[in-house]
Homo-oligomer: A and B are copies of this chain.
Amino acid sequence: MITGIKFSLNDSLYSRDPQDTELGQRILKHSIILIDDIGLENFTFKKLALEIESTEASMYRYFENKHQLLLFLTSWYWQWVEYLISIHTLNIEDPGHRLKIILKSIINATSENALTEYINENLLHNIIINEGSKAYHTHDVDEENKHGIFSSYKELNEVIAQAILALNSNFPYPHSLASNILEMANNQVYFAQHLPRLTDIKVPKGDLSQLEAMMEYFVMKLVKD
C-alpha cells in the first residue's frame, strides 16, 4: 500500500529532513496550515511550536529560519508538480496535446492528492500563490542559488521549455515563456481573488477553468507558427 511520497530535496533546504520523523512531519503539516491562515509575515516558529505543542528550539532543529522553511515548501511543491506532469504526459506523443496537459497539471495540481498525509496540497497551493515569489526574491538569491536551492523550480521550467520547443522548435523564447507560465498561473489567481481589476478571469469557488482557458489561449497563440 502506498502511504506517501517522499521527495529527495536538496540538503540546504533543511537542517534535519522533516520528512523522516514524526515531529518533522507535524512541523510540515501545521506550518502549512498556519502560514495559510495568518500569512508568512505573521508566522513565527514560536506560534508554530505552540500549535503543535512542542518548543521553539525544536523547530530550529529542522529549519534554520522561516525563510528556509518556505524554500522547503516551495521546492516540495514544484517537485510535486513536475512529478504530476511526468505521470500525466506518459504515452502522450502529440506535442500540442502534451503542452495542454502540462498547463492543466500546473493549474490543477491542487485537486490531486499526493497521498502524503502530512501535506495538504490545497493549502500548499494557496501558499505558493500568496507567498511563492518571496522564496527567490531575497537578498541572498545568488548565494542560495549556488547551493542548488532553486533546482526543482529550474528543472520544472526546463521541462516546460522543452515541451514548448517540441511544439515549435523555432520559438525564440522557450525558457522565458515557461517561467512566465508558472508566474502568470499563480498571479492571475491572486489577482482574481484580491485585485480583480488586474485580470479578466474569475475563480468562482476555486474553480480554475477560466484560468485554464486563458492560459491555453495565451500559450497556444504564442507558440504556434
Chain B residue nearest in CB terms to A177: B218
Q: Provide 10 A-B residue pairs closer than 8 Å at the C-beta atoms, listed in order of the A residue.
A: A42-B139, A141-B194, A175-B200, A176-B191, A176-B199, A177-B218, A178-B198, A180-B184, A183-B183, A221-B221
Contact partner of A199 (CB less than 8 A), chosen from B175, B190, B197, B200, is B175
A133 lies within 8 A of chain B by Cβ = yes
Q: A208-220: contact bitstring with B at CB < 8 Å (1 yes, 0 no)? A: 0000001001100
Q: Are A38 and B139 in contact (CB under 8 A)?
A: yes
Chain B residue nearest in CB terms to A175: B200
* A184 to B142 alpha-carbon distance, docked (Å): 20
Q: Which of A167-225 contact B (CB under 8 A)?
A: 172-180, 183-184, 187-188, 190-191, 194-195, 197-201, 214, 217-218, 221-222
Q: Are B41 and A173 in contact (CB under 8 A)?
A: no
Q: Which of A34-64 contact B (CB under 8 A)?
A: 38-39, 41-42
Q: Are A130 and B136 in contact (CB under 8 A)?
A: no
Q: Are B134 and A197 in contact (CB under 8 A)?
A: no
Residues of B within 8 A of A178 (CB): 198
* A191 to B137 alpha-carbon distance, docked (Å): 10
Interface pick from A81-89, A93-101, A150-158:
A150-158
* A157 to B178 alpha-carbon distance, docked (Å): 23
A138 lies within 8 A of chain B by Cβ = yes
Q: Are B138 and A176 in contact (CB under 8 A)?
A: no
Q: Are A180 and B187 in contact (CB under 8 A)?
A: yes
Contact partner of A41 (CB less than 8 A), chosen from B138, B145, B198, is B138
Chain B residue nearest in CB terms to A129: B137
Residues of B within 8 A of A17 (CB): none
